[in-house]
Homo-oligomer: A and B are copies of this chain.
Amino acid sequence: MSISTAIAQARGPGRPRSLASEEAILDATMQILAREGYGGLTTDKIAALAKASKSTIYRRWPSKEHMVLAAFDRSPPLEPKNSDDLLNDLLDIVMQLVDLIRQTPLGGALPALVFERSHNAQLAEALDPVIERRREPTKAILRSAILRGDLPKNTDLELAVDLIWGPVILRTIFTPGDVSIGALRTLLAVVVSGLIHGPVPLRIGGAHGV
């Protein structure tokens, strides 16, 4: 379940792996990420700061990116508010991530993971379930709204999640876009409007004269 291999280790003979080292390594990763950015993150620096050896590192994770991912995975999941106000709940959870990205070293590392994922199947395998899990709180909010009748029963959750997060991620990571609370509120309000009213019929326009 965890990214870490240490915990799942079968208890055989020989010296057991040190949990302290493991944490020191991930802590060091976060510190360097915060201080010097992803470009300044090297395995040697991590080892030096964590007072661990590189073999201790590579025994646990096959590459630098996996370490970043493991460090990322230690951050607590987004917490869905589940009040009875859909828009506010969505806004809250969206702001949680935006703040996380803007205020912690993880923001700077996310593009690196995305990049690495694109040509590293091993990392994709590790990253995808983590991403998948991160979508869950949003789905919980949507399910509650459906139960309350605030959204149609046949709402496609995956599509809804993409509609919500797509523009946010775009503005946060891709493009230097407006992610103020006001802008996000409007954005979400339009998305929710689309979800409530459902997709438009296949042909829009062209029937004006009629």
Contacts and interface: CB of A to CB of B under 8 A. Distances in A.
Contacts of A185: 202
Contacts of A181: none
Contact of A205 (B38, B84, B117, B171): B84
A38 B119 contact: yes
Chain A contact residues, majority secondary structure: helix
B128 A175 contact: yes
Given A199-B186, A200-B189, A108 B119 contact: yes
Nearest to A203: B85
A24 B101 CA distance: 40
Given A168-B166, A193-B194, A204 B85 contact: yes
A71 interface: no
A117 B175 CA distance: 10
Interface residues of A, number: 67
A163 B187 contact: yes
Interface stretch (A4-12, A44-52, A73-81, A143-151): A143-151
Pick from A112, A170, A186 the residue with the most CB of B within 10 Å: A170
11 contacts: A85-B204, A111-B117, A112-B115, A118-B173, A145-B205, A148-B205, A163-B163, A165-B170, A189-B200, A191-B191, A192-B194
Interface of A: 37-39, 83-88, 108, 110-112, 114-115, 117-120, 124, 128, 131, 145, 148-150, 156, 158-159, 162-163, 165-171, 173-178, 183, 185-187, 189-206, 208
